[in-house]
Structure 1
Amino acid sequence: MPMRGLTIVVAQPDPDRWRAALTMACAAAALGGRTRVYLHEGAVALLATAATAPPGLPDPTELRAIAGESGVELIACQTGLALAGLAADTERVAAGGLIDLLATLADDRLVTL
């Protein structure tokens, strides 16, 4: 039986939640399921925030690269992109909204951080 997908919503601009979402997404992608991370409104600013990691662990930039290589889809709230002054194509993420995210959820598990 194929692995169920995982959709993670990052609801706040919290670097620890962002790191947890990326780590969880990479793990789910390694198991073969469709994996998406959606950054909601203010959380989109995390795309432009330089954050560090504890010694020996990858920082968020490295985690984003690993996620991309693993097939994790990153989606940024269109309103959040506008508020942060970012463009989806320059951040290697797709622009999207909650309606589309929920409409395409299918049988994915949904996690909110």
Structure 2
Amino acid sequence: MPRLRRLTIIVAAADGARLYAAIEAAMAAAALGHGARLFLQGEAAALLRLPIGFAGDAARRGAGLPDLAQMIEEAAAMDVELIACQSGLALTGLTADAMAPQARAGGLVGLFADIGPDDRLLVY
């Protein structure tokens, strides 16, 4: 079985539950020793606007689970890369100083140029 080198997940919708699930998958890959990164495409970049949060946070906290902001912090601590689509930043009016400090701006061309033959790509 080929070894997973890195997992790249594209979050293609501005849906907090979808981002939360993508972060969980990236963190699972990182916990197994693999590289992992998330690319928030288009309107999904708005999910990184400070303060971080989504409608499902209260239920998650009530169940003893981390909220979206905590998940982003934990993922970053596990070296999961968080990339906001440059076009999405422009589309949503989000600036670098107004988004999660764990994220950086990037584009799809750069993302795909950096995908290796052993990498896995998922779209949420």
**TM-score, length of structure 1 as denominator length:** 0.91
Count of aligned positions: 113
1:65 is matched with 73
Are 1:44 and 1:80, in contact at CA under 8 Å, matched by a contact in 2? yes
- Are residue 74 (structure 1) and residue 82 (structure 2) matched? yes
Name structure 2 gaps, 5 residues minimum.
Answer: none
**Using the alignment, how far apart are the partners of 2:25 and 2:96 within structure 1?**
22
Q: Secondary structure at the match of 2:39?
A: strand
Q: Secondary structure at the match of 2:53?
A: coil
1:31 is matched with 32
Which of the two has higher C-alpha Rg?
Answer: 2
Are 2:42 and 2:87, in contact at CA under 8 Å, matched by a contact in 1? yes
* Percent identity between the two aligned chains: 48
Residue-by-residue CA offset, 1:14-53 (whole Å, 9 max, x unaligned): 1111000111111111111111100001001111252214
Q: Secondary structure at the match of 1:66?
A: helix
Letter of the structure 1 residue corresponding to residue 122 of structure 2: V
**Using the alignment, how far apart are the partners of 1:87 and 1:35 within structure 2?**
24
